[in-house]
A and B are shown apart, each in its own frame.
Chain A
């Protein structure tokens, strides 16, 4: 196993460099997805009729194979990280939009009524009441989106070594070095687990108000 961390020179990167790249390609799309999902979800909460069609659209987008995305995008963004990250951002919507909508809707009716009656306008109500109470649901969504994004980055290898750790799978094949494939799979899994644990930690810090027995 001497060559386990011995990264082939065609990737022009170290092991830790690949990890950094992988995290960047996985997490920026989730962040972008979150920024898009928040207003979209709020719109769905305010205009109930909008929610089913929005869900339908996010599901259809999720069903588009990443390869198809690449074929279209490559004309505009080339063989770059951006080409990998755009589909990943779009995929995250299918998880994040319903998570935020459910979270915001989970605010009890009487809590909202009390907020309104105390003279909190719609903006204050959203930022001071609905969003904080939706945090556990939003983070639950972020956990799924993040883990799936970390595993999906690997397809980037199809457009010329833009798959970060996923490129090792290709190299394992080219150079007949199966240990690189093992490295790719194990490292990706560990990253996913660590990212997930970090999000659980963030949840605990942000929500000291949650009953302890439901803390996982």
Chain B
């Protein structure tokens, strides 16, 4: 565990970058430091590997003061990923990744074997091994950056706005990849970002910092969205806090209806049988069970249903995998107000109305409050 104990960083000109900050960073999870520029988040991160020395206070790694060991030994035990990757432009991809193992005295051969393993882990084709950084896209460079940080299998990973300089699509891919790698490796990750959405997506714990190096709140993301400590945190979280919080509620418990689902070849009798007062629409699927769209029962003629005339069904969600947010999103996207649930293969497994989703949200909120009470 990394314990930041009442640490202050004051520069000679009197600026205070970090002000009596105390944090306990749990092992094998992602702790995100988030805040506006000038809040001291990068300074805090850099104090953990002593690229910045604190003016007061101390930092403990597994109970021992980080000052106790030689600085370069400490740094080699912590992977570091930086914005724009910071690759060595004069070295090939594989030699970049092999940097720390080579510093630790591994043979060239062993370091390269290890580097090749890591390329695979971060999803880089082995064809990139002999290329130079200029031949890679920003996203690929950042993957090399992550592989390089992981090369010597350090228990701690420090990440300083690693995904800020890539476009949103690539960023999402890198975030998903990081979560996947973290599932496999279970590192203690300290992640700095100014993007609250990134913090909420990646963090097991999120430390919101405010200008002047103060800690505003340190909490799991769901709690942050439910109970912002003050106006600053609330403001920093931005709009749609309630909707975003739904990401933390599972959709597994939603009561799905199967009755209003008909295949495109359904006969008149079946169409009538499936129609009832509380299902104003029928979901038409293809012969494999994949949704095509909604239709009003009166407008559907058995044997001649035309997919292009159906009402769009929005975006389906996968119960269990997706959150209530995805379910609600699906229901508001379709003009019918109903969301479609599908299985992993995209076959419709049920439909659910906004009313039912709304009730599920209220229940989840109530349970969340009970948990909060029980917990503290």
Q: Which residues of A contact B (CB under 8 A)?
A: 108, 110-121, 124, 128-129, 132-133, 135, 207-211
Stretch at the interface among B78-86, B276-284, B320-328: B78-86
How far is A129 from B83 in the complex, measured between Cα atoms in Å? 18
> Which residues 56-97 in B have Cβ within 8 Å of A in the complex?
71-76, 78, 80, 82-92
B74, B78, B88: which contacts A111 (Cβ < 8 A)?
B88
Interface residues of B in 90-114 (CB under 8 A from A): 90-92, 99-100, 103
Min distance, Cβ B276 to any Cβ of chain A, angstroms: 62
| Smallest CB-CB A-B distances: 4 pairs | A114-B86, A117-B80, A110-B86, A119-B75
- Which residues of chain A come closer than 8 Å to B132, judged between CB atoms? 208-209
B binding-site residues for A, Cβ under 8 Å: 49, 51, 71-76, 78, 80, 82-92, 99-100, 103, 132-134, 145, 148, 158
The answer to whether A108 and B88 have CB atoms under 8 Å apart is no
**Which residues of the other chain, B, contact A114 by a CB distance below 8 angstroms?**
80, 82, 85-88, 145, 148
A117 and B158 contacting across the interface, CB-CB below 8 Å: yes
State in angstroms the CA–CA spacing of A210 and B158 once bound together: 29
Chain A residues near B74 (CB-CB < 8 A) = 119
Cβ–Cβ contact B51 & A133, under 8 A: no
Can you name the residue of chain B whose Cβ is closest to the Cβ of A206?
Answer: B90
Residues in B whose Cβ lies below 8 Å from that of A210: 134
Please indicate the chain B residues that have their CB under 8 angstroms from the CB of A117 in the complex. 49, 51, 75, 78, 80, 82, 158
Min CB distance A204 to B, Å, is 14
Contacts A119-B73, A119-B75 given; indicate if A110 touches B133 (C-beta within 8 A). Answer: no
Determine how close the nearest CB of chain B comes to the CB of A118; give it in whole angstroms: 5
Q: Which residues of B contact A211 (CB under 8 A)?
A: 134
List 7 A–B pairs whose Cβ atoms lie within 8 Å, in order of A's numbering: A110-B85, A110-B86, A114-B145, A117-B49, A117-B82, A135-B90, A208-B132
Give A110's nearest chain B residue, CB to CB: B86
Q: Which residues of A contact B82 (CB under 8 A)?
A: 110, 113-114, 117
Q: In the assembled complex, which residues on chain B have CB atoms less than 8 Å from the CB atom of A133?
A: 88-90
In the bound complex, CA of A67 to CA of B89 (Å): 45
Is the Cβ of A111 less than 8 Å from the Cβ of B72? Answer: no
Check A207 against B90 for contact (C-beta < 8 Å): yes
Cβ–Cβ < 8 Å partners of B88 in chain A = 111, 114-115, 128-129, 133
Whether A118 pairs with B76 at a CB distance below 8 angstroms is: yes
Rounded to whole angstroms, the CA-CA distance of A128 and B90 in the bound complex is: 9
In the complex, what residues of A have CB within 8 A of residue B87's CB?
111, 114
Task: Tell me whether A108 and B86 are in contact in the complex, defined as CB-CB below 8 angstroms, given that A117-B49, A209-B134 are known contacts.
Answer: yes
Contact of A121 among B51, B72, B92 (CB under 8 A): B72
State A125–B121 Cα separation when bound (angstroms). 28
Alpha-carbon gap, A56 to B90, bound state (A): 32
Given contacts A108-B84, A110-B84, A111-B86, contact A209 B133 (CB under 8 A): yes
Q: Which among B51, B84, B86, B133 has the greatest number of chain A C-beta atoms within 10 A?
A: B86
Contact of B103 among A108, A111, A119, A207 (CB under 8 A): A119
Residues of A within 8 A of B145 (CB): 114
> Are the C-beta atoms of B73 and A113 separated by less than 8 Å?
no
Expressed in whole angstroms, the minimum distance between the Cβ of A87 and any Cβ of chain B is 35
Q: What is the bound-complex CA distance between A118 and B85, given in angstroms? A: 13
Residues of B within 8 A of A129 (CB): 88, 90
Q: Which residues of B contact A135 (CB under 8 A)?
A: 90
Cα–Cα distance between A129 and B86 once the two chains are bound (Å): 11
Given A110-B83, A119-B100: A132 touches B75 (CB 8 Å cut-off): no
CA distance A110 to B142 in the complex (A): 12
* Measured CA separation A192–B82 after assembly (Å): 44
A113–B86 CB distance below 8 A: yes
B100–A111 CB distance below 8 A: no
A2 → chain B, closest Cβ, in Å? 53
Given A110-B82, A118-B75, A133-B88, 10 other A-B residues pairs in contact with their CB atoms under 8 A = A111-B89, A114-B82, A115-B88, A118-B76, A119-B73, A121-B72, A124-B103, A129-B88, A129-B90, A209-B90
The answer to whether A209 touches B72, judged by C-beta atoms less than 8 angstroms apart, is: no
Question: Which residues of chain A are near B75, meaning CB under 8 Å?
Answer: 116-119
Q: In the assembled complex, which residues on chain B have CB atoms less than 8 Å from the CB atom of A121?
A: 72
Shortest Cβ distance from B73 into A: residue: A119
CB distance from A203 to the nearest CB of B (A): 13
Whether B158 and A119, one on each chain, are in contact in the complex, defined by CB atoms closer than 8 angstroms, is no
By a CB distance below 8 angstroms, the chain A residues around B72 are 119-121
In the complex, the chain B residue whose C-beta lies closest to that of A128 is: B88
Complex contact A119–B85 (CB within 8 A): no
Write the nearest CB–CB distance from A48 to chain B, whole angstroms. Answer: 16
Whether the Cβ atoms of B133 and A118 lie closer than 8 Å is: no
